[in-house]
Copies of this chain bind each other. A is one copy, B any other.
Amino acid sequence: MKTLQSWKHEVERSLDVFNERESMPDRLHDAMMYSLEAGGKRIRPALVYAVLETYDRPLSLGAEVAAALEMVHTYSLIHDDLPAMDDDDVRRGRPTNHRQFDEATAILAGDALLTDSFRILAETKLEAHKVVELIGLFSQAAGSRGMVGGQLDDMLAEKRADVSLETLQSIHERKTGALLVYALEAGAVLADVLPSDRAALKAFGRHLGIAFQIQDDILDVEGDEAVIGKRVGSDEQNDKTTYPKLLGLDGAKLALAREVELAEAELTSLSVKAPLLQAMLDFIVKRNH
C-alpha cells in the first residue's frame, strides 16, 4: 500500500520535529525516540491522513494530531510492557524500553510522551475552539473513560474465566477502539466535514476498531508465527478471553465479516467517495500481522 508508506514517512518526520533534543535531557529524548522510532504500522496517523485526503485537504493540517496519536499509542505500549504490567522483554523484535534503558526511565519516557502530546496538540494551527475540541476529545479517548480505563478492566478480566462478549467488547472499545475512533473524528474536525459525515466517520471507526480486534484474535489462532512475530496460540495458553473463544473460530470470522459490512455501509453514506478509507479497512482486515 503505497499511500500508507508515504504517510508513515510523513508522521515520522513530524515526530522528529516535535520532539527536539535541545528541549529536554538527552536520556529522556533517547528513550522517547527509541520507542517512537520502533516503527509499527502507524495506523492511527494514517486514518487521520486518509480522512484529510478523502476531503481533499492538505496533510500538513493533521501533523499535530497524527504525532500526538502516535505518541500516546507509544507511551501506552511502553507502560504496558513494564514488569508490573505485561512484563515483556521484546517488542517489534527489539528490547522493550525498560530493557533497553531501565524501568524508571521507561516510566518517565511514557509520562513525557503523554504530556508532550498535549503540548503538540495545543500548537495545532486551527481556530482555537477547534483546538480545544480536539484536545477534549483526545483526553477523553486516552484517559480514565477511554484507553486507561479499558486497560485496567482488561487486567482485571485476565484473572476471570467468565468474561462475557459484552464485557470483552467494552474493554476493546476503550483499550484500542477509542483512539481509532478519535483518529477518524479528529480527521473530521480538521477537514471541517458535514455533521452527518462526522457521525458516519465515527461509526466507521467503531466498526473498524472491533474488526481490528477480531482479526488480532483470529491471527493468534491461525496466523503465521514468522510473520506476526509472536507465538501463535498464546491467547489460548494464557486462557485469555477472545472472540474465537467465545464464538468459535467460524463464529469469529462471521462477526468480522459483519463488522466489515457495517463499516462499509458507513463509508457509502458519506457525501464523498472514500477509496482510501476503504483501503485502510481492507488493510486492517486482510493484514497477516
Contacts and interface: CB of A to CB of B under 8 A. Distances in A.
Interface size class of A (residues with CB under 8 A): 35 or more
For this chain, the copies found in one complex come to: 2
A136 interface: yes
Given A27-B152, A28-B148, A108-B152, A122 B132 contact: yes
Contacts of A132: 122, 128, 131-132, 135
A24 interface: yes
Interface in A243-289: none
Contacts of A156: 25, 27
Contacts of A110: 111
Interface stretch (A5-13, A139-147, A181-189, A205-213): A139-147
Q: Is the interface of A mostly helix, strand, loop or mixed?
A: helix
Contact of A107 (B85, B105, B153): B85
A122 B148 contact: no
A201 interface: no
Which 7 pairs, one residue from A and one from B, show the smallest C-beta to C-beta distance? A84-B103, A115-B143, A128-B128, A119-B139, A122-B136, A24-B144, A128-B129
